[in-house]
Amino acid sequence: MSYQNIVHSINILVTSFTVPSNPKVQEEVRRMSSQKDKEMFSNPYFIDCYYTPKTKEQKEKELRAHQEYKEEISSLPLQQSLQQRPLRLYKGFWFHEIILPGILSLHHHLHPTPSDIFLATFPKSGTTWLKALAFAIGTRNPYALLSRHPHDCSPFIEGFFSGPRLPDLDVLPSPRQFATHIPYSVLPNSVRDSPCRIIYLCREPKDTLVSTYHYSKGMHRPEATPQPMPLPEAMELFCKGLSMYGPVWEHQLEYWQESQSQPDKVLFLKYEDMKADPEANVRRMAEFMGRPFSVEEEMNGMVGEIVRLCSFEKLSQLEVNKVGVRGKEFGLAIKNSSFFRNGKVGDWREHLTEEMAEKLDAITQARMYQSSLTYSND
Ligand code: PAP
């Protein structure tokens, strides 16, 4: 089906929506009919998920559920994030308000299959890299990345469910790969209890903060960008966990503990180790994904080719990653290029004062006390 046909069909689906009686649901239906929501369905890679025909009753039920999630969320503790957007505290973690309906919805509607792979990260820990690598390993076609942004390789699952329309994940080709920032304890039971696998990529907190800080400057509607927050202020919020999916320490520890008790379920990777020895880590990923490299692939240099094509140096120079924006479904215009800053280990040294670094390290040590998790650039 051509892209134009798909968009046309979606338009018909949206405009033929019957408006139900509940005023709040009506409001959502009107919102769905807006241009912005049509744009939301315009990602050509996953659009089929929104294309499954649904009855009027199904659509109304989905809208009502979405409205109920929003009502539930409106009673949760509220704070501003270092991204200067509303955050809600849910099960011990801070989530951007706009994403929480997706998380609540996943608890009811996500049914993983044993072959599903979840790529989990705390934001700004190397998600883009992990997505590119998992896609290249899964498809054995790293060259597709020359024209496909890594974020178009696997749906960001909570974002996918955050709108008033449920996607149909059964249309995605198997084995499916999903990306998520959801902490382990907040994942739906269906993910934790099923034999599906999780790859977690962890990054040293100081570098994570610096990356988060730079990225947050571009996380706004272009016409409504607030004054950038000074870094010391942003760090204070980060330390309190007031950053999307924060606090970072508990996020990392939960996945670390699961990887120790269930190594077949959770593979725990570190950004710094991946930088130091990408080939070894690509092999670990492939084994864990059930797709180890054959002798022939090893001889043909497949591992090195995947590493090369997924490297920061290569991906950041590709046109597809340099132009365009994403995040329209969240009212944002995030430049595709903003996922590629410099990809360095230890870049915090350029941005944090000694005092700031000591403070962050002290928190890290206190939180990691009695845990065997360590960071490679300590
Ligand atoms: P996300 O969680 O919003 O998807 P994520 O990809 O985790 O973002 O974070 C971006 C970081 O990964 C950036 O780090 P920096 O700010 O310290 O530079 C980005 O440069 C880095 N990054 C992106 N692609 C790669 C890559 N191929 N190799 C290594 N690092 C990368």
Which pTM was predicted? Answer: 0.90
Kindly list the strands in the beta sheet with 117-121, ordered across the sheet, starting from the edge strand earlier in the chain. 177-180, 117-121, 197-202, 266-270
> Is 50 exceeded by the pLDDT of residue 19?
no
Query: Which residues are CB-neighbours of 179 under 8 A, at least 6 positions away?
Result: 118, 119, 120, 121, 127, 130, 131, 151, 154, 155, 156, 157
CA 177: distance to chain centroid?
12
pLDDT digits (tens, 9 = 90+) for 354-375: 999 999 999 999 999 889 999 8
Ligand 1 geometric centre to CA of 258 (Å): 24
Q: Is 310 in the pocket of ligand 1 (CB under 6 A)?
A: yes
Kindly state if the Cβ of 211 falls inside 6 Å of ligand 1: yes
**Cα separation of 76 and 373, whole Å?**
31
CA of 282 to the centre of ligand 1 (A): 17
Torsion angle of alpha carbons 89, 92, 95, 101, nearest 10°?
A: -80
* Atom of ligand 1 minimally distant from the CA of 207: 17
Taking CA atoms only, the protein residue closest to ligand 1 atom 21 is 343
Catalytic machinery residues: 181
Question: Is pLDDT of 27 > 70?
Answer: no
Q: Between residues 240 and 218, which one has the greater pLDDT?
A: 240
Ligand 1 mutation target, pool 129, 135, 214, most atoms within 8 A of CB: 129
Reported as a single tens digit per residue, the pLDDT across 227-262 is 788 999 999 999 999 999 999 999 999 999 999 999
Find the 275 Cα to ligand 1 centroid distance in Å.
12
Gap from CA of 358 to ligand 1 centroid (Å): 24
Query: Residues 93-142: pLDDT tens digits?
Result: 999 999 999 999 999 999 999 999 999 999 999 999 999 999 999 999 99
